[in-house]
Amino acid sequence: MRTYRVERPEIALQDEPVPEPGPGEILVRVHAAALNKRDLLILDGTYPLPARPGVIPLSDGAGEVVAAGPGVTRFGVGDRVMGSYWPRWHDGRLRPELIDQPGCTLDGMLTEYALLGEQAAVAVPEHLSWAEAATLPCAALTAWVSLTGGQKLLPGATVVTLGTGGVSLFAVQLARLLGCRVIVTTSRMDHADRLKALGADHVIDYPATPDWGRRVRELTGGQGADLVVDTAGPATIDQSVRAAALYGEVAVLITRDATSDRLEITNEAYASSLATLRRVFVGNRAELESLCAAVAAHELRPVIDRTFTDPHAAYRHYREGSPFGKVVIELAPA
């Protein structure tokens, strides 16, 4: 089988034997895998969790079960599945002994055939294509947990999302699915119509409106947002806090970027509300199953920017192309 492995600063194609599933394992013919920002950080050697040398990259992928090892009961041959971002974190709170991740400390999904523990797999919603299913385990789940993992968002609540990355676009779609009002900030107003088509009620041009937290308050009659999904961290956290309602929440997804290794909130912003900052790091298998149930019930379609058959081209486009939506690699076993 064709398998790709991390050999910094690139990924390298390898020809390897197809593995056989052991007890509790399933062998999955991978049809599609999707890129996330963490995959670039792993390739660059800057991801906080040290990657195993020569690991198979990518946490996200979907495929068909082609063999099952002894004792497997959750899935059978022919089932459509995706892998979990945290294979050992099935429910409850994340604990230090559960922090292994595919594409980092464990082999990932950029391979024609992948071994998964049956407890690490989740059924794919029937209406999704392979490419669409491959986008869910990281970005979509992060958006889902940002929306559902804190204070309950009632229909009519206001959610703010930042930019047009994968998590942000899923947050727009899922917030609308939950009946929320959605405000999006972006530097690309040429995307405004596409954002509104996904469910945004208002789109703010943040370079033209650097004090966009004030604009959020204007759009909400002075109340502020019930939830801000902050995908930028150091560059936006002060405005996110300013945009939050008195008892609102800010879901914090990253805490550093290329320009800063800290989050800084001015006293004026901090004193402006009693908002809660809630750290989000993707989610567990039970939450992924909950997401998939919602996606299936509403027949939600993920936004895909482009699909590739050449993984190197996909990586280049993801790094340099400013994609609107997910970048997917389609794998076709010989």
**Residue 191, pLDDT above cutoff 70:** yes
What are the tens digits of pLDDT across the range 36-95? 999 999 999 999 999 999 999 999 999 999 999 999 999 999 999 999 999 999 999 999
CB atoms within 10 A of CB 295: 25
Decide which of 121 and 261 is more confident: 121
CA-CA distance, 88 to 110, in Å (whole number)? 20
Residue 90: what pLDDT?
98
Domains of the chain by residue range? 2-137+300-330, 150-279
* Average pLDDT for 201-210: 97
What are the tens digits of pLDDT across the range 207-247? 999 999 999 999 999 999 999 999 999 999 999 999 999 99
The CATH architecture to which 2-137+300-330 belongs is: Alpha-Beta Complex (3.90)
* C-alpha to C-alpha distances, 325 to 34, 214, 221, nearest whole angstrom: 11, 28, 31
Please give the structure tokens belonging to residue 36: 């996330």
CA-CA distance, 190 to 311, in Å (whole number)? 28
CB atoms within 10 A of CB 262: 9
CATH 2.60.40.10 fits 150-279, yes or no: no
> Which of 258, 332, 331 minimizes the C-alpha distance to 58?
331
C-beta of residue 162 within 8 angstroms of C-beta of residue 250: no
